[in-house]
Amino acid sequence: MPRVKYRDSDIALMARMMRAEAEGEGKQGMLYVGNVIVNRAIADCLDFKDVRTINDVIYQVQGGNYSFEAVQKGNLFYNRARSVEKRLAKQNLDYWRQHPGKYALWYFNPYAPCPPTWYGQPFAGQFKNHCYYEPVGGTCDSVY
């Protein structure tokens, strides 16, 4: 059973985001970004209470901006999804979860060492340039 309900259009949308956000970090890096996307669709807490679909996650607006920078900047995100990224997105949607993105709801590239917290959320780990952050224990049990 998949981790979240999805359609073919969700696979393509998620694949485009994974590529736009982490192409430089290879397949593994794209899978971690995909983990965060699926975790946000599952999370019933914090900023993600009303986010239930892949489309909701990708186009969520927080503080007047899209949650994912690639939606606004547009470069790679607005290119057609390639088959390799679609396969990775399907893996995330169906079953794939690994540390440091396993329970993460946030990631970013600080262009410096990863801070121990980010907006009060604890550091879960790093893969190449991206730092991953999990919700504070007990605040988001639906992710675990």
pLDDT of residue 46: 93
Mean pLDDT taken over the chain: 95
pLDDT of residue 75: 79
pLDDT of residue 68: 94
The span from the first CA to the last CA of the chain, in angstroms, equals: 17
Superfamily name with CATH number, domain 8-102? Cell wall hydrolase SleB, domain 1 (1.10.10.2520)
Average the pLDDT over 17-38 and give the result. Answer: 97
Query: Does the pLDDT of residue 29 top 80, yes or no?
Result: yes
Query: Does the pLDDT of residue 7 top 90, yes or no?
Result: yes
Average the pLDDT over 79-92 and give the result. Answer: 97
Query: Does the pLDDT of residue 73 top 90, yes or no?
Result: no
Residue of 105, 96, 77, 94 lying closest to 15 (CA atoms): 77
Contact 105, 143 (CB under 8 A): yes
Q: What is the pTM of this model?
A: 0.96
pLDDT of residue 28: 97
Query: Does the pLDDT of residue 74 top 80, yes or no?
Result: no
- In sequence order, which ranges of the chain are alpha helices (DSSP H)? 8-22, 26-42, 54-58, 69-73, 83-94
Contact 131, 107 (CB under 8 A): yes
Q: Which residues contact 32 (CB under 8 A, 6 or more apart)?
A: 22, 25, 98, 100, 101, 104, 107, 127, 130, 132
